[in-house]
Amino acid sequence: PQNLGALIRSAHFLSSSLQSNDDDNSNSSIGIVVCGKNSAPPSPVVSAASAGALEIASMYSTSNLPKLLAKAQEDGFRIVGASSSVPTQQQSSWISTEYQPEPPKLYELQDLSPISNEDATILVLGSEGRGLRTLVAKGCTEYVRIPGGNTEGDDDGVDSLNVSVSGGILLWHLLHGK
């Protein structure tokens, strides 16, 4: 619940800063979609961790995230999955479609292009333990990893960030390109 609250807080904060810097008041908003069966439900703990942003953020719920991502892809959304690598099953089972003629690429954060005013984008975050679920990963059009940590597989370092920290970093980069 604390991670969800922190993500809601970050999304609301970054959306507000984007709107205040937007000269033409175009469609610069952030909506938050949670999967009803794999996410913490709204609660007082989530609200407290969000510093009240839960009550004013644009929140949506789905019971079938892979289906939502497939429809979003059909509608032209860019779907960026946070992952340290392209999921193995994604590579081996990829099939060319009208909406995605090439296999998804994995970008280092600094190489990922930020959102333009024309891009409808979904950022997908998985669980800290398992990452993106297989069917959710298949719905992504590209992947991004945040470089750093223990990438050599040794047991002497931290190999990942907290999901709310990763989400904040990725949102900042996608919105501001820095």
The burial class, CB within 10 Å (0-12 / 13-18 / 19+), for 98 is: exposed
> What is the C-alpha to C-alpha distance for residues 142 and 57, in angstroms, rounded to an integer?
26
**Whether the predicted pLDDT of 29 surpasses 80:** no
**Whether the predicted pLDDT of 174 surpasses 70:** yes
Predicted local confidence at residue 66, as pLDDT: 94
As a 3-state breakdown, the chain gives helix, strand, coil percent values, each rounded to 5, of: 35, 15, 45
Judge contact between 136 and 73, C-beta under 8 A: no
Judge contact between 2 and 51, C-beta under 8 A: no
Which residues face 32 on adjacent strands?
A: 59
Strand-pair category, 105-108 with 78-82: unpaired
Residues composing the chain:
178
Taking only the tens place, the pLDDT of each residue in 38-61 is: 888 889 999 999 999 999 988 999
> What is the C-alpha to C-alpha distance for residues 172 and 178, in angstroms, rounded to an integer?
7
> What is the C-alpha to C-alpha distance for residues 59 and 163, in angstroms, rounded to an integer?
18
Chain-wide mean pLDDT for the chain? 83
**Whether the predicted pLDDT of 95 surpasses 90:** no
Q: What are phi and psi of 107, to 5 degrees?
A: -105, 145
Can you give the pTM of this predicted structure?
A: 0.84
Mean pLDDT of 122-136: 88
**Whether the predicted pLDDT of 27 surpasses 50:** no
- What H or E segment, with its residue span, contains residue 81? strand 78-82
Mean pLDDT of 25-31: 60
